[in-house]
Amino acid sequence: MITCSAPGKVYLFGEHAVVYGENAICCAVELRTKVSVEKSDEIIIESILGRTRLDHDTHPYVSYVIEKMRQFVDIPGVRIVIESELPVGSGLGSSAAVTVASIQALNHLYECGLSLEDIAKTGHEIEKMVQGNASPTDTYVSTMGGVVMIPQRKKLELINCPIVVGNTHKFSSTKQLVGNVSKLRSDFPSVVEPILSNIGQISILAEKLVAEGDYETIGKLMNINQGLLDAIGVGCAELSSLVYAARDNGAISAKITGAGGGGCMVALTREDNAEAIAKAIENAGGEAIITKNTAEGVRLESLHG
């Protein structure tokens, strides 16, 4: 049996603006999805969603991975077991992580010789098959790890302070939120285009600050980015409540990560107050996860047998 894992991600800057070609900065976090694979007589996929065969409703990403990998190698039967620390549908890149970890595990099991670039590209193709349209960002960051400037795919210095994620557990549709922003942009181009451009400018300013490890100034820019996301209508009361709980209790910064409208927010904290900020987020009705940036993308965890 072979086990591989791949990390989730948060956006430090630039979600929504990145759809219009602006810059964004994404950061892989040490919350992982593990996928274990072994050869079998039939195809079996197991996760908290249940035990299925090839099933594009219950396990769409892994089912498409198997079909896609069959282009490289004969896969008569395989058992795939998924375990994840990433909440599903919360903007932390859970679908990218399960896709990337599954590709790499099968890549090792069948010795396909796929490179990391191949894995990121194949992962993006699978996300597009399931979602209709998908950014290559999530699969790229999950494959490569670290901190990445989009769209250049430039690796930046690691973020060396605790990251606290707050989950509202409120469902939101990325497709709908992206559509809402698009409509606002076409209704009020002279107002909304500069906002999206300013979000992109923040990422450009932040690149140098990430290299310098100037988290206080990064934090100020993240907070401005949050205000601009609110301005384009992707906030919600639950997210605002968690954002202000974190800030009021001493977070360096707090903002939405991902599409907004629900899902998660992210806070940067100091070493000595991550626990206090996590508690404040829980007290405000969210689920808090203390994590950190990881340099490692997809990796081999273990080989048995």
In which domain, by residue range, is 184 found?
A: 163-291
Q: Interior CA angle at 167 toward 286 and 144, to 5°?
A: 150
Q: Could you read off the pLDDT of 151-178 as tens digits, one per residue?
A: 999 999 999 999 999 999 998 888 889 8
Reported pTM: 0.92
- Active site amino acids: 138
Amino acid at 212: E
299 belongs to a structural domain: no
Alpha-carbon torsion angle 118, 119, 125, 131, nearest 10: -160
pLDDT digits (tens, 9 = 90+) for 279-301: 999 999 999 999 999 999 999 99
What CATH number should be reported for the domain holding residue 6? Answer: 3.30.230.10
> Which of 138, 156, 174 is the last residue before a domain boundary?
156
Identify the band that residue 71 occupies on the pLDDT scale cut at 50, 70 and 90.
Answer: very high
Q: Which helix (H) or strand (E) holds 290?
A: strand 287-291
Answer yes or no: do 212 and 94 share one domain. no
User: Is the pLDDT at 88 greater than 90, yes or no?
Assistant: no
d(Cα 125, Cα 265) in Å, to the nearest integer?
27
Whole-number pLDDT of residue 271: 93
If asked whether residues 103 and 170 sit together in one domain, one would say no
Q: Which residues are annotated as a binding site?
A: 87-97
**CA atoms of 279 and 265, how far apart (whole Å):** 14
The binding site for ATP comprises 87-97
CA 45 – CA 63 distance, rounded (Å):
8
Tens of pLDDT, residues 209-221: 999 999 999 999 9
Q: What is the number of domains present in the chain?
A: 2
The pLDDT of residue 135 is 79
